[in-house]
Amino acid sequence: MQTPQQQNLFDEPAVRAARILIDGASDLVFDYAIPPGIEGILPGCRVEIPLRHHTATGTVLEITEPQDTWAGSLKLIRRLIAPEPLISAPLMEMARWASQYYAAPIEQFIRCIVPEPVRQEKHSEKTHKVVRLLAKPSQEDETRLNKRAPRQASILHLLAESPDRTLTLKELGGTAALTPCRALEKQGYLTITEEEQHRDPSAGEDYLPTSALKLNEEQEQALKAVVADIEHADKKPILLQGVTGSGKTEVYLQAVEHTVRQGKSALILVPEISLTPQTLQRFKSRFSSLPGSVAILHSSLSDGERFDEWHSIREGTARIAIGPRSAVFAPLRNLGLIIVDEEHDGSYKQESAPRYQGRDLAVLRAKLEGATVVLGSATPSLETLHNARTGKYATLRLDRRADGQTLPLIRILDMRTEAKDKKYAGVLSERLRMAIDKRLARGEQTILLLNRRGFARSLQCPDCGHNVTCAHCALPLTYHITEDRLICHLCGYRAIVPRECPECRSSNILLQGFGTQKVEAILNRAFPQARLQRIDADISRRKNAVRDILGQFRARKLDILLGTQMIAKGLDFPGVTLVGVLNADLGLCIPDLRASERTFQLLTQVAGRAGRGDLDGEVIIQTFTPHAAAIQFARRHDTDGFADQELDLRRQFEHPPYVHLAVLTLRSTKEELAEYSMHTLYRRLVKNLPPDILVSEPAPAPIPKAYGQYRFQSTIKSHSARRIATCVSQEIAAMNAGDDIIITLDIDAYSFM
Ligand SMILES: Nc1ncnc2c1ncn2[C@@H]1O[C@H](COP(=O)(O)OP(=O)(O)OP(=O)(O)O)[C@@H](O)[C@H]1O
Ligand SMILES: [Zn+2]
């Protein structure tokens, strides 16, 4: 039996249908008919639909042409939740594109665009309950409450301790606290009121407004070019290549100002926000005086804050959005400008599902929105440099520091020639020790970098600096204890572990590595009078720790800042006149085709922290491989020279940016199953993939077991990323692996671990 409505649909084939993505963990997509009563359904709209025996919610992916076969079988959409689509047409298009390019279900990208808290109606409540203490209990009452009603006593205590003696009900423990609060209200201790919510994540922070600086000649030219691109229909992505301290930020700020004054909106992407509090502060200070407020998209926002920020961006109350890679999905409308600050930074790559490169999506989004995009860096990625050199991107340059300072002098210190019997041997050279002493005596500041990114599993000779590398890929081989072999993680090449250095015959060849904690202890011994702080992954786990330490350093309450690559980013401290790199080689010894590029970027960036004030800066780089290209080009601040040489190598070895490279990883808690399945999949791929897609022989991942799962990998190369995505996903799907196997395909991979 057909319902009258379905009958109606049957009679009028012109009625349309919609393909709908159902909310929920799985990626269900179904077609539903649009009933005559519901008008104006567009892609991106949120709807209510019947699903089995209950009502579900979902997002319209597309409106489909009606077909005869549908008529009787389609269920009807129940309700349009809001008349306007939650997802704009360009964002919808971006989701579609990304889903194909990165071989990930479209729902994963839809979730990035409309995050969970935004889809939950409950966060739209604009009021909340506020509890205010009126009178403190007498000593007597307190004793009584403590005994009879300990919950009430503790609520009074919390209120008495809090600023303004006021807390929200949520802060007091949510609805569970309501009954004891009501009881206390009756006794006259407190009041409960319903108040408008202000969920401003920067509440309580103070920003001194700044005004635009007078640009120097180079900055002026760059700004002019960016503004011209904003105003012309014919656009091209722009690389803003400016040396450290050249004042790129000032160009961004004035370009954003121009955009906003034209009534458009602007998106600013920055590397991990918690590590770049200073950059954030500079944007906020300037924009506090602009029309159209700023939304900051931290990962640490509460659900309520996220809801509010999202809606204020979408409604246009906030016309400037700043955030990390995920902000590329921010629902800005009438977008005029996207800035990707430190575009080379690794944090733009999302390493969990959906895997994507935020910088690349920013370029795509700009194209779809007709917006200008500026990728800025002192050390652009080779991908971006390649695009600039082939004319796909326009290049603007700032070759001098903003107010005439010189770039710091960089000295390379060959650790092979350092005396081995010295007290701090292998960690602190005599020269660096003396340089630090000098800064301490003069009251100047020092930054020390320990690039511990590297693995202690590669082989390096301490006498000659030789790294054992793959014959086919020129990448360091990684030691695998289980097989007692050195393995190349790109091509699967295996080698026996040499007992002596193949280069100088030294038998000292060993696994390298020392960590920040050990170095901190050594430094404390070497400079007992120095005020020293360390920043690394362990420290940054504590809330606000990085911000606080950087604040102290800025206020010159610290003499030495020791840290991993976390401290190399965007810091502008005029008191720093010395930068020391403890072991420049650690980043070179990892099985990663970008090891050299990353080391060059890191050294150049951290060196650029020195001499930004009135005093000149000095940089000392300790290394066992003083002739490595990354180190030599960094010494001369020579980004172009490095790029020439490295791009040449990449071309020879057919590495990115000359090909697209994907990493295929198979994981399982059962080692044999993982290995066997990986080989089965590999054979399938070899047999079925078209000849332009190359697959490497599987090998255990450099981290062969993690979170209880064994991991096996192959790398896949092709000139078309889309072809990898399509063809390989087909084979993965056809393999029909069981639930105890997880297969991931990382297109344009950055991590080979
Ligand atoms: N036109 C200008 N006149 C004077 N000072 C300027 C000017 N432009 C920028 N500055 C100052 O120069 C310093 C360096 O600028 P900024 O931090 O923007 O450089 P950057 O190119 O972003 O550097 P990095 O890549 O190292 O982060 C800042 O203290 C900034 O205030
Ligand atoms: Zn190899």
State the angle between helix axes of 178-186 and 150-161 in degrees (0 to 180), rounded to the nearest 10.
80
The answer, yes or no, to whether any atom of ligand 1 lies below 6 A from the CB of 405, is no
CA of 664 to the centre of ligand 2 (A): 16
Dig out the tokens for 290 from the structure.
């602009």
Dig out the tokens for 261 from the structure.
């004054």
Compute how many other C-beta atoms are within 10 angstroms of the C-beta atom of residue 135: 12
Which residue among 256, 345, 572 has the greatest number of ligand 1 atoms within 8 angstroms of its CB, and so is best to mutate?
A: 572
The answer, yes or no, to whether any atom of ligand 1 lies below 6 A from the CB of 210, is no
Range with lowest mean pLDDT among 236-245, 361-370, 446-455, 728-737: 446-455
Beta bridge partners of 449: 563, 581
Q: What pLDDT digit, counting tens, does each position of 300-309 carry?
A: 777 888 888 8
Give the DSSP letter of residue 124: G
Query: What HEC string does 461-482 produce?
Result: CCCCCCECECCCCCCECEEECC
Can you say whether residue 688 is alpha, beta or left, with left for phi > 0 and alpha for psi between -120 and 50 degrees?
Answer: alpha
Give residue limits of the domains in the chain: 4-86, 127-196, 217-398, 409-456+512-650, 660-746
Q: What pLDDT digit, counting tens, does each position of 243-265 carry?
A: 999 999 999 999 999 999 999 99
Q: Is the pLDDT of residue 268 over 80?
A: yes
Same fold? 4-86, 409-456+512-650:
no
Report residue 170's pLDDT band, with 50, 70 and 90 as the boundaries.
confident
The answer, yes or no, to whether any atom of ligand 1 lies below 6 A from the CB of 273, is no
Q: If you average pLDDT over residues 719-742, what whole number do you get? A: 92
The answer, yes or no, to whether any atom of ligand 1 lies below 6 A from the CB of 285, is no
Fold (CATH) for 409-456+512-650: Rossmann fold (3.40.50)
Shortest-distance ligand to the CA of residue 213 = 1
State the angle between helix axes of 721-735 and 89-101 in degrees (0 to 180), rounded to the nearest 10.
70
CA of 73 to the centre of ligand 1 (A): 64
Residue of the nearest CA to atom 7 in ligand 1?
402
Q: Which atom of ligand 1 is nearest to the CA of 244?
A: 26
Fold (CATH) for 217-398: Rossmann fold (3.40.50)
Which is more confident, 90 or 736?
A: 90
Counting residues of the chain whose pLDDT is more than 90, the rounded percentage is: 46
Q: What is the pLDDT of residue 116?
A: 77
- Dihedral in degrees, nearest 10, Cα atoms 309, 310, 316, 321: 70
Q: If you average pLDDT over residues 527-541, what whole number do you get? A: 84
Q: Which atom of ligand 1 is nearest to the CA of 378?
A: 25
The answer, yes or no, to whether any atom of ligand 1 lies below 6 A from the CB of 248, is yes
Q: What is the pLDDT of residue 411?
A: 95
Which residue among 276, 403, 601, 612 has the greatest number of ligand 1 atoms within 8 angstroms of its CB, and so is best to mutate?
A: 403
The answer, yes or no, to whether any atom of ligand 1 lies below 6 A from the CB of 464, is no
Residue of the nearest CA to atom 24 in ligand 1?
244
Distance of alpha carbon 402 from alpha carbon 245, whole angstroms: 6
Name the CATH superfamily for 660-746. Answer: Ribosomal protein S10 (3.30.70.600)
The answer, yes or no, to whether any atom of ligand 1 lies below 6 A from the CB of 149, is no
Distance of alpha carbon 241 from alpha carbon 94, whole angstroms: 27
Q: What is the pLDDT of residue 751?
A: 83
Distance of alpha carbon 440 from alpha carbon 454, whole angstroms: 30
Q: What pLDDT digit, counting tens, does each position of 180-220 carry?
A: 899 999 988 998 887 766 555 555 555 667 788 999 999 99
The dihedral sign for the CA sequence 338, 344, 345, 351: positive
Helices (H) and strands (E) in the chain, counts: 22, 33
CA of 249 to the centre of ligand 1 (A): 6
Shortest-distance ligand to the CA of residue 492 = 2
Shortest-distance ligand to the CA of residue 402 = 1
Q: Is the pLDDT of residue 637 over 80?
A: yes
The reply, when asked if residue 589 is annotated as ligand binding, is: no
Q: What value does the mean pLDDT of the chain take?
A: 86
Q: Is 631 within 8 Å of 719 (Cβ atoms)?
A: no
DSSP-derived 3-state class of residue 161 = helix
Q: If you average pLDDT over residues 97-102, what whole number do you get? A: 96
CA of 369 to the centre of ligand 2 (A): 41
Beta bridge partners of 711: 667
Distance of alpha carbon 469 from alpha carbon 541, whole angstroms: 35
Distance of alpha carbon 75 from alpha carbon 249, whole angstroms: 54
The reply, when asked if residue 501 is annotated as ligand binding, is: yes
Q: Is 670 within 8 Å of 678 (Cβ atoms)?
A: no
DSSP-derived 3-state class of residue 267 = strand
pTM for the predicted model, two decimal places: 0.81
* DSSP-derived pairing of the beta strands 560-563 and 532-535: parallel
The reply, when asked if residue 727 is annotated as ligand binding, is: no
User: What length is written for the chain?
Assistant: 753
Shortest-distance ligand to the CA of residue 654 = 2
Closest CA to 737 of 663, 678, 669: 678
The answer, yes or no, to whether any atom of ligand 1 lies below 6 A from the CB of 376, is no
Q: If you average pLDDT over residues 4-16, what whole number do you get? A: 50
Closest CA to 299 of 256, 352, 246, 252: 352
Residue of the nearest CA to atom 15 in ligand 1?
247
Shortest-distance ligand to the CA of residue 242 = 1
Report residue 444's pLDDT band, with 50, 70 and 90 as the boundaries.
very high
Q: Is the pLDDT of residue 557 over 60?
A: yes
Shortest-distance ligand to the CA of residue 608 = 1
> What proportions of the chain, in percent to the nearest 5, are helix, strand and coil?
35, 25, 40
CA of 206 to the centre of ligand 1 (A): 22
Q: What is the pLDDT of residue 370?
A: 97
Q: Where are the alpha helices (DSSP H) in 21-105?
A: 89-101
Compute how many other C-beta atoms are within 10 angstroms of the C-beta atom of residue 575: 18
Dig out the tokens for 602 from the structure.
């890191």
Q: Is the pLDDT of residue 4 over 60?
A: no
Distance of alpha carbon 569 from alpha carbon 342, whole angstroms: 8
CA of 667 to the centre of ligand 2 (A): 22
Q: If you average pLDDT over residues 564-580, what whole number do you get? A: 86
The answer, yes or no, to whether any atom of ligand 1 lies below 6 A from the CB of 242, is yes
CA of 544 to the centre of ligand 2 (A): 42
Q: Where are the alpha helices (DSSP H) in 608-718?
A: 629-635, 639-652, 671-688
DSSP-derived 3-state class of residue 608 = coil
Compute how many other C-beta atoms are within 10 angstroms of the C-beta atom of residue 176: 10
Q: If you average pLDDT over residues 67-87, what whole number do you get? A: 79
Q: What is the pLDDT of residue 5?
A: 45
The answer, yes or no, to whether any atom of ligand 1 lies below 6 A from the CB of 324, is no
Instruction: Write phi, then psi, for 336 (nearest 5 degrees).
Output: -105, -30
Which residue among 217, 243, 249 has the greatest number of ligand 1 atoms within 8 angstroms of its CB, and so is best to mutate?
A: 249
CA of 582 to the centre of ligand 2 (A): 29
Cα 493 to Cα 471, 472, 478, 713: the distances in Å are 8, 8, 10, 13
Report residue 464's pLDDT band, with 50, 70 and 90 as the boundaries.
confident
DSSP-derived 3-state class of residue 327 = helix
Q: Is 271 within 8 Å of 339 (Cβ atoms)?
A: no
Q: Is 668 within 8 Å of 674 (Cβ atoms)?
A: yes
Distance of alpha carbon 290 from alpha carbon 285, whole angstroms: 10
The reply, when asked if residue 181 is annotated as ligand binding, is: no
Q: Is the pLDDT of residue 676 over 70?
A: yes
The answer, yes or no, to whether any atom of ligand 1 lies below 6 A from the CB of 377, is no
The answer, yes or no, to whether any atom of ligand 1 lies below 6 A from the CB of 516, is no
The answer, yes or no, to whether any atom of ligand 1 lies below 6 A from the CB of 402, is yes
CA of 594 to the centre of ligand 2 (A): 14
Beta bridge partners of 376: 240, 341
Which is more confident, 566 or 692?
A: 692
Q: What is the pLDDT of residue 121?
A: 60
DSSP-derived 3-state class of residue 155 = helix
Report residue 37's pLDDT band, with 50, 70 and 90 as the boundaries.
confident
CA of 609 to the centre of ligand 1 (A): 11
Closest CA to 186 of 147, 230, 152: 152
Shortest-distance ligand to the CA of residue 341 = 1
Dig out the tokens for 177 from the structure.
């606290």
CA of 421 to the centre of ligand 1 (A): 43
Q: Is 83 within 8 Å of 145 (Cβ atoms)?
A: no
DSSP-derived 3-state class of residue 34 = coil
Q: Is 190 within 8 Å of 133 (Cβ atoms)?
A: yes
The answer, yes or no, to whether any atom of ligand 1 lies below 6 A from the CB of 215, is yes
Q: What is the pLDDT of residue 145?
A: 85
CA of 591 to the centre of ligand 2 (A): 9
Q: If you average pLDDT over residues 21-38, what whole number do you get? A: 81
Residue of the nearest CA to atom 1 in ligand 1?
215
> Look-up: residue for tokens 């720093």?
576
The reply, when asked if residue 488 is annotated as ligand binding, is: yes
The answer, yes or no, to whether any atom of ligand 1 lies below 6 A from the CB of 243, is no
Q: What is the pLDDT of residue 72?
A: 64
Q: What is the pLDDT of residue 515?
A: 57
Distance of alpha carbon 514 from alpha carbon 506, whole angstroms: 21
> Look-up: residue for tokens 């780089």?
621
Residue 175 amino acid letter: T
Residue of the nearest CA to atom 18 in ligand 1?
247
Range with lowest mean pLDDT among 253-262, 279-288, 340-349: 279-288
Q: What is the pLDDT of residue 583?
A: 85
Closest CA to 82 of 113, 38, 47: 47
Distance of alpha carbon 734 from alpha carbon 736, whole angstroms: 5
Distance of alpha carbon 200 from alpha carbon 717, whole angstroms: 46
CA 610 to chain centre: 25
The answer, yes or no, to whether any atom of ligand 1 lies below 6 A from the CB of 247, is yes
Distance of alpha carbon 135 from alpha carbon 132, whole angstroms: 9
Beta bridge partners of 238: 374, 394
Q: Is 409 within 8 Å of 618 (Cβ atoms)?
A: yes
Range with lowest mean pLDDT among 107-121, 240-254, 362-376: 107-121
CATH entry 1.20.1290 includes domain 4-86: no
Report residue 452's pLDDT band, with 50, 70 and 90 as the boundaries.
low
Q: Is the pLDDT of residue 419 over 70?
A: no
CA of 286 to the centre of ligand 1 (A): 14
Shortest-distance ligand to the CA of residue 604 = 1
Beta bridge partners of 383: none
Instruction: Write phi, then psi, for 250 (nearest 5 degrees).
Output: -65, -35
Which is more confident, 746 or 12?
A: 746
The dihedral sign for the CA sequence 749, 368, 311, 82: negative
Q: What is the pLDDT of residue 714?
A: 95
